[in-house]
């Protein structure tokens, strides 16, 4: 089993079809663009998690200061 129920042979067939449709240079460009998009998405998610963590600390920090 590979990705989501797709085995290795199915991935090879998909890759060969994509290679025939787009050609080697265009396929490399598509792969590069897709990799960059995934990397940017992960970075954005990490940044959002970081900001959310800072907000939670500010809220919990201000709550304990008001109790004093």
pTM for this predicted structure: 0.55
Domain assignment present for 54: yes
Model pLDDT, residue 53? 80
Model pLDDT, residue 3? 63
Low-confidence ranges of the chain (pLDDT < 50): 1, 64-68
Contact 7, 1 (CB under 8 A): yes
Domain assignment present for 44: yes
The range of the structural domain enclosing residue 38 comes to: 24-67
Model pLDDT, residue 68? 45
Domain assignment present for 4: no
Domain assignment present for 3: no
Q: How many domains does the chain have?
A: 1
Domain assignment present for 61: yes
Residue whose C-alpha is closest to residue 16's, from 7, 6, 27: 27
Burial of 24-47, coded b for 16+ CB within 10 Å and e otherwise, reads: eeeeeeeeeeeeeeeeeeeeeeee
């Amino acid at each position: 089993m590979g990705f989501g129920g797709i085995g290795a042979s199915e991935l090879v067939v998909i890759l060969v079809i994509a290679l025939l449709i787009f050609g080697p240079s265009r396929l490399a460009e598509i792969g590069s663009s897709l990799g960059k998009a995934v990397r940017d998405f992960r970075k954005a998610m990490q940044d959002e998690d970081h900001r959310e963590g800072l907000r939670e600390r500010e809220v919990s920090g201000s709550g304990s200061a008001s109790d004093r």
